[in-house]
Amino acid sequence: MRSLLKQLVEFTAFVLVLPAYGLYHLGVAMVGTEKAFPGWSQTFSLLPGLTGQYLRRAFYSLTLDRCGGNACLSFGTIFSHSTASIGANVYVGSFCCLGAITLEDDVLIASNVSIMNGTQQHGIERMDIPIREQPGVFTSVTIGEGTWIGEGATVSADVGRHCVVGAGSVVTKPIPDYAIAVGVPAKVVRFRNEDASIEDRITETERLVKSVTQES
């Protein structure tokens, strides 16, 4: 019964967003997707409560590359590009800013997180041209399956599967699978699938190298 009721609510939300979807496509025809999409993302981000969650998911299922089942996109969270991809069972907290990114299944994103497309979106080499007019490079960023990004983190590089990124961390380089990374810039402190910390493994490696050197 509960599953049937949920399906009915999702269908109702889908029907309710169809007029907005039609207006969105009219905007796309007039100014292009790049300019039309962010405004609608901002509009839907302001819808409160559970109703807002259902309406956002319905709208994004029509406009994003993918918006998986049971994805929860909270109040105040906006997407800057329609090429974003959201997996199944993804949770995104309030007031996040997300670019053209991929969130794989079961990703958890806390509130106030920014996930951007690399650190070279604006050129800065020339002094005779404003930075806003210099070409940049947009890098595709993926957050791997089952990863948790903590409160207030900033991410500009890939994060692997089943990782944990600490609150307030700044990810500027790729994070491998199962890693726990913290700090500014974020550094791996240990792996979830191993008992030893990074420091312990480095110490052990140095000990083994020293032992081999002495024997030779």
The arithmetic mean of pLDDT across residues 10-30, rounded, is 94
71-215 maps to CATH 2.160.10.10: yes
Length of the chain: 216
Residues in Cβ contact with 174 at an 8 Å cutoff, skipping those fewer than 6 apart: 157, 158, 159, 160
Mean pLDDT lowest for which of 11-25, 133-147, 195-209?
195-209
pLDDT digits (tens, 9 = 90+) for 175-191: 999 999 999 999 999 99
Using the predicted structure, report yes or no on whether residue 66 has a pLDDT greater than 80. yes
pLDDT of residue 207: 47
Contact 126, 141 (CB under 8 A): no
pLDDT of residue 212: 39
pLDDT of residue 200: 56
pLDDT of residue 161: 97
Q: Is 208 exposed, middle or buried (0-12, 13-18, 19+ CB in 10 A)?
A: exposed
Peptide bond into 19 cis (omega under 30): no
Nearest-10 Cα torsion for 43, 49, 50, 56: 10
Average pLDDT, the chain: 88
Q: Encoding tokens for residue 43? A: 């509009």
Q: How confident is the model at residue 126 (pLDDT cuts 50, 70, 90)?
A: confident
Q: What is the residue extent of each domain of the chain?
A: 1-63, 71-215
Using the predicted structure, report yes or no on whether residue 69 has a pLDDT greater than 60. yes
Using the predicted structure, report yes or no on whether residue 216 has a pLDDT greater than 50. no
Q: Encoding tokens for residue 208? A: 């083994």
The arithmetic mean of pLDDT across residues 63-69, rounded, is 94
64-68 contact pairs (CB < 8 A, 24+): 68/105
